[in-house]
Amino acid sequence: MTATQFQKFAKRALWLYIPVFMFLIFVLLPFYWMTITSLKQDRNIFDPEANPFWFNMTPTLSHFWDLINPDKTDFLIWMQNSFMVAGLATLISVSIGIMAGYSLARLRFKGAETIGSSVFITYLVPPSLLFLPLSQVIDQLGLMETKWAMIVSYPTILVPFSTWLLMGYFRTIPKEIEECAMVDGCSRIKALIRIVLPVAIPGIITAALFSFTLSWGEYLYSITFVTDSWEKTIPSAVVGELIRGDVYYWGELMAGALLGSVPIAMIYVFFLDYYVSGLTAGATKG
Amino acid sequence: MKAKTADFGHSASQPRRTPILLAPFQYLEKEWFLGYALITPACILIAGLVAYPFIIALGFAVSDKVIGHSGNFVGLTNFKNLLQWPVFLQTVWNSFTFTFYALLLKVGLGMILALLMEKIVWGKNLFRGAVLLPFIVPTALSTVAWWKMLDPQYNIFNWIGTSIGIIEQGPNWLGDPFWAKVSVILVNAWRGMPFFAISILAGLVAIPRDLYDAATVDGAGPINQFRYVTLPMLKPILSVVILFSIIFTFADFDVVWVLTRGGPTNSTHLFATLAYNTGLVSTKIGEGAAIALFLFPVLVITVVIQLHLIRKDSTE
């Protein structure tokens, strides 16, 4: 390595990789800390002098065993609830989103523009604006204290996003493909199902991923509509059920937070590019 | 999906516009009919679970309703009381400062991150993957980790500070109003930063290279290139992302509720947490709805500007 090469290398390390490394620490710190704490013995966790970033006693899996032991916590039920709520809310929302997105992107009818604007406005309505009156509606529907309260209410957050995303996606598909199929004797519905949907699969995957992620992590609606441990999803249950009064089950809390994040993180690792495209679609179009 | 449209076909078997009765499936070939049929589920959802609750919210806000009892009409009493309640006024102030500082951090850190992500070669995918993680993981769960990390007794920053001997005893993070505010802003920025980074990166990649070449020919160094090329070219995307983030930062609930519950002594409340505390914890649901409605003007302003930007975008 010559002197100039070394200088170039040093400059790069200084201006690029040192900041990158610092950002990585900042971003990953809570996850690292969560993992370490979940594996610590209780006496280690509650020692204020101990190094918080490493073990002072032998690591233990006991907090994880406590979680999956049905006699101690309902963790497995919460996990099951989360999968059911997020799965169904996603299925409903993406189906409605496909229909609405196609309708707004492709079909001409009176009032389409007004409806399009109201979908967009709904997209910007934060859940915290309407959670109190929504609990009244959920009560009128007889869904209070059940998983269905969440399955029914999450689409209000997910449908506007999915519609907006898919509308943009359908617009990029050339109209000619559909028209060709219709000239060949395909009905409009058939052309939509056989021709347009297969081409739109990347957009549909993106909408589904975001819907699943948002419903998996939703917290405000779930603590508003459900207080019964058996009906809770992971975020509300871990935060609500593992802290009783002033007693914090810190080991179990961190183990629960970690396990509750793992399914989402795994999906995320496999579909990173879809997440990125969904985020930028939301940013540039919405 | 199929069942829904077929069902709709039946219910509309008495058409107003077409003189001759068509078989249900024939309606699906009509562009306007299919248009309405496909948009109906979305409309029902928005009408029933967004528009209708909004009307209920207006009713709640002018009533003295308590959970379990039907309330009476009290006019604007709730709003009058709120404007004289120091905790509420503190919340209004908190909302503005919280949004301002959190957004400043998110834009700043997001910009630096985006520039790093554009330049990085070795470890590119790993870095991009890690950076998005805070945005993907459930906020309530990651905030629980922050909550313990910032705990007064086991605070990691204080531990580092005392261990290397720069401080004798650190601040009482979540127990002190000032440091509690710093904490909620920090965690909100930590969580929202990836969204800014990825959006800005998308904008950066789209800037034509020849603009930089031209700037170099004109003798612009890296700083001037950033100021006169990068920033102006990023302006459209930045304005959309910032507007979008304003409403959701203003309306944040998860971070504050998990981290401080609005405490210590109500010093970190935002509209959402105060509405939850008043409406559900203290069961004064009428007053709670009135507090949440203060988010509405912010929403209206954001929507108006956003729609304006979109229109401008599509006419240009």
Domain borders along chain A are 3-65, 74-285
Indicate whether B47 and B169 sit together in one domain: no
Out of A127-136, B72-81, B224-233, B307-316, which region has the weakest mean confidence (pLDDT)? Answer: B307-316
Q: Percent of chain B at pLDDT above 70?
A: 91
Structure confidence at residue B15 (pLDDT): 47
Q: How many CB atoms lie within 10 A of CB A187?
A: 16
Indicate whether B32 and B181 sit together in one domain: no
- Is A83 within 8 Å of chain B by CB? no
Are A188 and B5 spatial neighbours (Cβ–Cβ below 8 Å)? Answer: no
Position B78 in a domain: no
Interchain pair A224, B148: CB under 8 A = no
Q: What DSSP element (H or E) covers A244?
A: strand A243-244
Structure confidence at residue B13 (pLDDT): 47
Contacts of B258 in chain A (CB under 8 A): 219, 239
Separation between Cα atoms, residue B218 and residue B209, nearest integer Å: 15
- Name A42's Cβ contacts closer than 8 Å, sequence gap at least 6: A250, A251
- Is B142 within 8 Å of chain A by CB? yes
Residues facing residue B63 across a β-bridge:
B73
Q: What DSSP element (H or E) covers A248?
A: strand A247-248
Structure confidence at residue B1 (pLDDT): 39
Structure confidence at residue B12 (pLDDT): 45
Q: Percent of chain A at pLDDT above 90?
A: 51
- Is B156 within 8 Å of chain A by CB? yes
Query: Which stretches within B120-219 are classed as H helix?
Result: 124-136, 139-149, 156-163, 177-205, 209-217
Contacts of B120 in chain A (CB under 8 A): 16, 20
| Residue ranges of B 220-239 with Cβ closer than 8 A to chain A | 237
Structure confidence at residue B16 (pLDDT): 52
Mean pLDDT for the stretch of residues B215-242: 88
Interchain pair B240, A284: CB under 8 A = yes
Indicate whether B112 and B18 sit together in one domain: no
Q: What DSSP element (H or E) covers A212?
A: helix A201-217
Are A63 and A75 spatial neighbours (Cβ–Cβ below 8 Å)? Answer: no
Structure confidence at residue A4 (pLDDT): 80
Nearest to A132 among B135, B144, B275 (CB): B275
Contacts of B28 in chain A (CB under 8 A): 187-189
Indicate whether B195 and B274 sit together in one domain: yes
Residue B191 has pLDDT above 90, yes or no: yes
Q: Is the peptide bond before B138 cis (omega within 30 degrees of 0)?
A: no
Residue B266's domain is classified under what CATH number? 1.10.3720.10
| CATH superfamily placement of domain A74-285 | MetI-like (1.10.3720.10)
Are A99 and B42 spatial neighbours (Cβ–Cβ below 8 Å)? Answer: yes
| Structural domains of chain B, count | 2
Separation between Cα atoms, residue B200 and residue B286, nearest integer Å: 41
Contacts of B50 in chain A (CB under 8 A): 122, 125, 130, 156
Indicate whether B132 and B275 sit together in one domain: yes
Displacement of CA B82 from its chain's centroid (Å): 24
pTM: 0.89
- Name B152's Cβ contacts closer than 8 Å, sequence gap at least 6: B172, B173, B174, B175
Mean pLDDT for the stretch of residues A168-180: 85
pLDDT in tens, A13-42: 788 888 999 999 999 999 999 999 999 888
Position B72 in a domain: no
Indicate whether B46 and B113 sit together in one domain: no
- Is A27 within 8 Å of chain B by CB? yes
For A41: left if phi > 0, alpha if psi spans -120 to 50, otherwise beta; the answer is beta
Residue A285 has pLDDT above 60, yes or no: no
- CA separation (Å) from B147 to B154, B173, B182, B230, B249? 10, 10, 13, 37, 19
pLDDT in tens, A214-271: 999 999 999 999 999 899 999 999 998 887 666 678 888 999 999 999 999 888 888 8
Position B149 in a domain: yes
**% helix, strand, coil for chain A, step of 5:** 75, 0, 20
pLDDT in tens, B6-62: 444 444 444 455 556 666 667 777 888 888 999 999 999 999 999 999 999 999 999
Q: What is the ipTM of this complex?
A: 0.91
Position B193 in a domain: yes
- Find which of A5-19, B91-105, B121-135, B209-223 is predicted with most confidence, using mean pLDDT: B91-105
Rounded to 5 degrees, what are φ and ψ at A244?
-115, 115
Average model confidence (pLDDT) across chain A: 88
- Is A108 within 8 Å of chain B by CB? yes
| Residue ranges of A 56-75 with Cβ closer than 8 A to chain B | none
Residue A283 has pLDDT above 80, yes or no: no
SS3 A51: coil
Structure confidence at residue B42 (pLDDT): 95
Q: How confident is the model at residue A66 (pLDDT cuts 50, 70, 90)?
A: confident
Residue A143 has pLDDT above 70, yes or no: yes
Indicate whether B207 and B91 sit together in one domain: yes
Indicate whether B268 and B144 sit together in one domain: yes
Q: How many CB atoms lie within 10 A of CB A121?
A: 18
Indicate whether B31 and B148 sit together in one domain: no
Give the DSSP letter of residue B206.
Answer: T
Indicate whether B127 and B250 sit together in one domain: yes
Q: How confident is the model at residue A189 (pLDDT cuts 50, 70, 90)?
A: confident
Structure confidence at residue B314 (pLDDT): 63
Are A33 and A53 spatial neighbours (Cβ–Cβ below 8 Å)? Answer: yes
Structure confidence at residue A245 (pLDDT): 64
Distance between B217 CA and the closest CA of chain A, angstroms:
22
- Is B31 within 8 Å of chain A by CB? yes
pLDDT in tens, B50-76: 999 999 999 999 998 888 788 888 889
Position B186 in a domain: yes
Structure confidence at residue B22 (pLDDT): 67
Position B57 in a domain: yes
For B122: left if phi > 0, alpha if psi spans -120 to 50, otherwise beta; the answer is beta
Q: Percent of chain A at pLDDT above 70?
A: 96
Which residues form the domain of B41?
2-61
Interchain pair B50, A130: CB under 8 A = yes
Dig out the tokens for B84 from the structure.
């004289």
Contacts of A160 in chain B (CB under 8 A): 46
